[in-house]
Amino acid sequence: MMMELLQSVTSLPNLHPVAVHFPLALFPIALCFDLVLLLSKRRGLDGTATALYLGAAASAGVAYLAGRQAEDGLRDVTPTVAPFLASHSDAAWLALGALAGVALLRAVVHWGGRTRPWLGSVPVRVAVWLVACSALWLLARAADLGGGLVYRHGVAVAQHGLPSVPEEHSNPPDLTTGSGTSTVEPAAPGDDETRLVIDSESGLVWKPRPGDRGVLGSILREDPESPPGTPGVRVLEDGDVGIGLEVRRRALLLLPGTYAGVQVDLVTDLSGFDGTLGLAHHVTGPDRMGLFRVSRTGSGALVNVIAGGEQILDETRIVPPPGPVRIGLSAVGSHWKGIVEGRTIVHGHMEPLAPGPVGLLLDGEGIIRILEVRVTPLKGA
């Protein structure tokens, strides 16, 4: 509703481009007022400077919230851009905290100095002004990273509010010609088709073929620490595209490779599955991993799985469309995102986990069909 109202009065896709200019203007002006006050001792400027600091902090809060909304509203963010979005968000959070802290200190100096003269003394004012200069540097850094997103990576400048990226990044990478070392697994002996391409720099792409029973134990490895007994999944022989997996119980299936920052993109069909599908990352055991979990009944959640329980970072209600659906996960730094059809639906924050493999956590019964999997390493900005 809010977005519809905004688009009815402006051509901007969100409020962030408007709100961000207020702290960028108000905070330097407040610093200048404070400097004039220190040099001239004109106490009449004290209240004006304090008001400017408070206004800068408040507007920075609005800009940060608008930025979060703008970030989550982007569609089809490429792995190239994702780390820069995370760095800008982290820098903006630090700048907001610094501006809020300076505003609080300045308010204490202004009002507390009336009853405690030492709070309004020149040494205290100079100390607060120097702290404010440090906060200005944090604000400038956040602004610089934000400008880089727009003018270097073309984020949020394409038509219809979609992010634009340089042409060389507009399509998924061809991992057979990456700069790193590539390995290819054939679908069957003597068969020219490939089922898995791994590149040390670009990650992996898996486009399974129907009935490829060799996938279990090679491409998809059931976690060795899973409960013993009947295998959790088996490969079906039917289907024209992708691979059908019949799920019998909870099963954790791991893909090759170990990743720190990572983006996982999965095209799947959950129409015949009754349960939850989780994109797992940073897996260090059956009860230690990050997870983007979705179900056909209408739930999506970011989960930190820990021994003996789980921590929900963010959750929402969704209804996956019938037929194939694109589900994605991005985990870089402290930022975890769950993505459906190119749109971020959940966004949470968590201390970075130890590097580990990625995979699928299937919990339920029925049949899921996997059409494509892409795993892309995300490097820090």
Same domain, 135 and 277: no
Q: Which of 184, 188, 209 is nearest to 196 (CA)?
A: 184
| Confidence at residue 376, expressed as pLDDT on a 0 to 100 scale | 93
| Domain-terminating residue out of 168, 194, 213 | 168
- Number of domains, the chain: 2
Residue 136 structure tokens:
């200005």
| Confidence at residue 159, expressed as pLDDT on a 0 to 100 scale | 43
Tokens 């990576």 map to which residue? Answer: 153
| Domain-terminating residue out of 168, 190, 225 | 168
Same domain, 24 and 108: yes
What's the CATH number where 313 sits?
Answer: 2.60.120.560
* Residues 6 or more apart whose Cβ sits within 8 Å of residue 378: 79, 82, 83, 260, 261, 262, 263, 330, 331, 332
Question: Which residue type sits at 58?
Answer: A
* Residues 6 or more apart whose Cβ sits within 8 Å of residue 307: 287, 288
Q: Alpha-carbon distance 190 to 220, whole Å? A: 22
Same domain, 180 and 291: yes
The 10s digit of each residue's pLDDT in 322-331 is 789 999 999 9
| Confidence at residue 326, expressed as pLDDT on a 0 to 100 scale | 93
Same domain, 357 and 219: yes
| Confidence at residue 157, expressed as pLDDT on a 0 to 100 scale | 66
| Confidence at residue 377, expressed as pLDDT on a 0 to 100 scale | 93
Same domain, 203 and 161: no
Same domain, 181 and 314: yes
Number of H helices, E strands in the chain: 6, 15
| Confidence at residue 9, expressed as pLDDT on a 0 to 100 scale | 64
| Confidence at residue 360, expressed as pLDDT on a 0 to 100 scale | 94
Domain of 295 in residue numbering reads as 175-377
Same domain, 57 and 127: yes
| Confidence at residue 271, expressed as pLDDT on a 0 to 100 scale | 87
Same domain, 53 and 199: no
| Domain-terminating residue out of 168, 188, 222 | 168
Instruction: Tell me which residues of the chain have a pLDDT lower than 70.
Output: 1-13, 41-43, 156-194, 200, 223-231, 320, 380-381
| Confidence at residue 178, expressed as pLDDT on a 0 to 100 scale | 37
| Confidence at residue 175, expressed as pLDDT on a 0 to 100 scale | 36
| Confidence at residue 189, expressed as pLDDT on a 0 to 100 scale | 43
The 10s digit of each residue's pLDDT in 2-53 is 555 655 666 666 788 888 999 999 999 999 998 888 888 666 778 889 999 9
Question: Which residue type sits at 229?
Answer: G
Percent composition of the chain: helix, strand, coil (DSSP 3-state, to 5): 35, 35, 30
Same domain, 27 and 68: yes
Same domain, 132 and 204: no
The 10s digit of each residue's pLDDT in 328-376 is 999 998 999 999 998 999 999 999 899 999 999 999 899 999 999 999 9
Same domain, 148 and 203: no
| Confidence at residue 231, expressed as pLDDT on a 0 to 100 scale | 63
Same domain, 286 and 336: yes
